[in-house]
Amino acid sequence: MSDTQTAAVPALTIKRTFDAPRERVFSAFTNVDLLRQWFGAPRMEVGEVTFDARNGGRYRIAMKAPDGEEYNVGGVISEFRAPEHFAYTFRWEEDDKSSERDTFVSFDFIDRGKQTEMVMTHSNLASEPSRESHASGWNSALDKLDTVL
């Protein structure tokens, strides 16, 4: 028997209720024109967005901060069931490719009549500071989504 303990890999869960029907909310996460309007932290300029909405499809979102720093994220869609669920890998593109890491994001959209409850889980994050940074980024973006819906 071993006394070795391994630290749990941090995961992030965010729940939000939006005042919009499920199909509209789902579309805001999968339609490139809508994604461009809300994705990213405040003052982040969203450029190129691709989203091949299907199992095995790829997505990529290019962003630029006010200081000119570029942030690009992308991955592969592993599950896609419109309008209730999808999941994908989430990988920041880094200058040093060896420091890139796949994390995993899943979204569930629960029909609440004229509202939609969204449950997002972002797992396999590298550390607690990474979890906190992603929590801040996702919550800022989801605040912007309210205005798009």
Residues 6+ apart with CB under 8 A from 135: 12, 14
DSSP 49-88: EEE--STT-EEEEEEE-TTS-EEEEEEEEEEEETTTEEEE
pLDDT computed for residue 63 by the predictor: 96
Exposed, middle or buried by CB within 10 Å (0-12, 13-18, 19+), for 26?
buried
| SS3 call for 42 | coil
pLDDT computed for residue 2 by the predictor: 45
Specify the pTM: 0.89
Residues 48 and 40 sit within 8 Å (Cβ to Cβ) = no
Query: Mean pLDDT across the chain, nearest whole number?
Result: 92
Tens digit of each residue's pLDDT (9 = 90 or more) over 64-98: 999 999 999 999 999 999 999 999 999 999 877 66
Average pLDDT over residues 26-33: 97
Residues 6+ apart with CB under 8 A from 40: 46, 61, 63, 71, 137, 141
Tens digit of each residue's pLDDT (9 = 90 or more) over 95-119: 776 667 899 999 999 999 999 999 9
Tell me which of 8 and 51 has the higher pLDDT: 51
pLDDT of 1 strictly over 50: no
pLDDT computed for residue 14 by the predictor: 98
**What is the spatial distance between Cα 46 and Cα 60, in angstroms, rounded to a whole number?**
11
Tell me which of 41 and 57 has the higher pLDDT: 57
Q: Does CATH place domain 12-148 in 3.30.530.20?
A: yes
